[in-house]
Amino acid sequence: LLLAPGAAVLPLGTTETQPFVSTLLSRCLLGPIKRPPMYRDQLEDQVNYYPDEYLNRLAHEGVNALWLTITFRDTVPITVLPGFGRRADVHLPKLRETVRRCARYGIRIYVFFIEPTAFMDDRDNVRYLDIKTYEKDYPELIGNRQSQMAGFCPSSELARSFLYEATNTLFTQVPGLGGMIDISVGERFTHCASWYNGMNNCPRCSVRKPYEVLADVLDCLQRGMHDANPAAEFISWPYSQYLLWGDEGTVEAAGHVPHPVVLQHNFESSGLAEQLGRTRRADDYWLSYTGPSALYRRCAEMARQNGTRMFAKLQVGCSHEVASVTHVPVPGILYDKYSRMRELGVSGAMQSWYFGNYPSLMTRAAGRLSFEPWSGDKDAFLNALALPDWGPHSETVTRAWNRFQEAYAQYPIYHVFGYYAPVHDGPVWPLYLFPVDMPLIPNWKFMPEFPEHGDRIGECLQEAFTLDEALLLCSRMSRTWHEGLLELEKIEPFFSQDLERRRDINTARALDILFDSCCNILR
């Protein structure tokens, strides 16, 4: 309010706001990732990944929750089964300290996990429990068998006690923990029903509907949590449930979530959009595609009928399209997303996965868009967003943002293109004089066996796009983005001494280079 008028004055009167998106979840930008090459767990050391100034900025931009990853096996001591809480003496004190530190800024910590863990015939597997360790003494836990794996069967009293104790112990041991997020089905094998529909051979769970098995798991977990902390939130996130259960099974399950569990679906996954005269499907996360998918709409409506709160999984800063920048400055897309979330009664948003969580224009926009009264004028909202930073040049910046949105909508809608295409790192792609017939490498995964990209450009296109189609769309994106950049460059001299605004312009310039480089590689 102080910055908008351009002077140290406030308008007379009373301003009242009320969030319709009350939980804005992000992930700590500085927190390490328990994946190669570093494979580091932030609960294993005494490093402070949550400095005060970082938390202060998040709080000012509207973020009121952060998530971090745990596993029951490492973090939570459980009495009814052996092999759990192996690092609890290290993890729990660090988690308590993290909760305390963030609470000073009104930010709650949520634990993220993929539980219950299924079984595998592999003692050294880091993701699954060893089936031989549990099969002899606890046969009732061994459920749906698939090759060398078996689902965790929730149908026994032992299983229910285990699930209840896990969350009850965690929330008792860590007072003030804000909540938990569970990919309950869709990411990897967990309980018996977290497999392909119709392929459950568990003698107990196979005679039940998949959503009934899932509901049992969720109910045990939420009761354990709420008995320890009634104010905590439990978010059930069936990440790619529709790929296992189909659209109809996913929608049906949305109507049977036990109270008071929150349901969260990817806002864009399974969405359809037309590009170059063909219908394309947007799987996984997207910023360039506004959404929501028809599947999300149907799940939100079914959840509403069941009295279940609905959250949206988004990528506010950037997504798989290009994740090598701090953010993609397209606040107009966020306006459109939040407008549709408001229509659907969405009351929370998980704003990022491991990437896309840098505090920026986009997180600030998402924070403002989460409140009533709603601005029904998109251009007015964008201008108000720009005014505190850009002053009399806010209209020019708004024009640039609109061009950026128009450009980004041309991004080829195919998740494999986002995973492998040269949009993220084109300037450092190797140039081969002769074909080497080597694979592309994913932007989200470290692969030491392939230290640099190969030349199989078709791997990012497959059956979704021809090379000419991808080049046409990327050329449109690059050309239109450059037009938006030219708008910012007109006013660049006025901000020669403003480091933050120069960073904003240089972010747009970096994206301009990345898009242009992508086109050159495709050519």
Pairing assessment for the beta strands 149-152 and 119-120 based on DSSP bridges = antiparallel
Determine the angle formed by the axes of helices 361-369 and 378-390, rounding to 10 degrees. Answer: 130
- For the cut 70, the answer to whether the pLDDT of residue 330 exceeds it is yes
- For the cut 70, the answer to whether the pLDDT of residue 3 exceeds it is no
Pairing assessment for the beta strands 348-350 and 310-313 based on DSSP bridges = parallel
Q: What is the pLDDT of residues 272-288, one digit of tens each?
A: 999 999 999 999 999 99
In the structure, what pLDDT confidence band is assigned to residue 4 with cuts at 50, 70 and 90? low
**C-alpha–C-alpha distance, residues 121 and 9, integer Å:** 68
**C-alpha–C-alpha distance, residues 340 and 328, integer Å:** 20
Q: Residues with Cβ < 8 Å from 95, sequence gap 6 or more?
A: 43, 68, 70, 75, 109, 111, 174, 177
Quick one: average pLDDT of 391-414? 98
Widest distance between CA atoms in the chain: 74
**C-alpha–C-alpha distance, residues 22 and 24, integer Å:** 7
> Three-state secondary structure along 266-286?
ECCCCEEEEECCEEEEECCCC
Query: Which of 162, 154, 176 shows the shortest CA–CA distance to 72?
Result: 162
Q: What is the pLDDT of residues 103-144, one digit of tens each?
A: 999 999 999 999 999 999 987 778 899 999 999 999 999 999
Amino acid 6: pLDDT: 64
Amino acid 9: pLDDT: 77
Q: What is the pLDDT of residues 404-421, one digit of tens each?
A: 999 999 999 999 999 999
Could you tell me the pTM of the whole model? 0.96
Quick one: average pLDDT of 174-200? 96
In the structure, what pLDDT confidence band is assigned to residue 375 with cuts at 50, 70 and 90? confident
The CATH label, of 3.30.1360.10, 3.30.110.30, 3.10.350.10, 3.20.20.80, for the domain at 18-375 is 3.20.20.80
- For the cut 90, the answer to whether the pLDDT of residue 98 exceeds it is yes
**C-alpha–C-alpha distance, residues 265 and 256, integer Å:** 14
- For the cut 80, the answer to whether the pLDDT of residue 1 exceeds it is no
Amino acid 324: pLDDT: 94
Query: Which of 421, 371, 393, 426 shows the shortest CA–CA distance to 504?
Result: 393
Q: What's the mean per-residue pLDDT of the chain?
A: 96
Pairing assessment for the beta strands 233-236 and 278-282 based on DSSP bridges = unpaired
Q: Give whole-number Cα distances, 229 to 22, 24, 68, 163, 225, in Å.
A: 19, 20, 18, 16, 6
Q: Count CA atoms closer than 13 A to 272's CA, side-chain side.
A: 6
Q: What is the pLDDT of residues 19-65, one digit of tens each?
A: 999 999 999 999 999 887 778 999 999 999 999 999 999 999 999 99
Buried b (16+ CB within 10 A) or exposed e, 267-302: bbbbbebebeeeebebbbbbbbbbbbbebbbbbbbb
Amino acid 451: pLDDT: 82
Quick one: average pLDDT of 326-338? 99
Q: Residues with Cβ < 8 Å from 137, sequence gap 6 or more?
A: none
8 A C-beta contact, residue 233 and residue 178 = yes
**C-alpha–C-alpha distance, residues 374 and 372, integer Å:** 5
Strands (E), 102-206: 108-113, 119-120, 129-130, 142-146, 149-152, 179-182
Handedness of CA 169, 171, 172, 174 (dihedral sign): positive
**C-alpha–C-alpha distance, residues 131 and 119, integer Å:** 5
Q: DSSP character for 21?
A: S
From-to residues of CATH 3.20.20.80 in the chain:
18-375
Q: By mean pLDDT, which of 184-188, 328-332, 368-372, 397-401 is the weakest? A: 184-188
Q: By mean pLDDT, which of 122-136, 199-213, 252-266 is the weakest? A: 122-136
Quick one: average pLDDT of 304-320? 98
Residue 52 burial (CB count, 10 A): 11
Quick one: average pLDDT of 499-520? 98
Quick one: average pLDDT of 338-345? 98
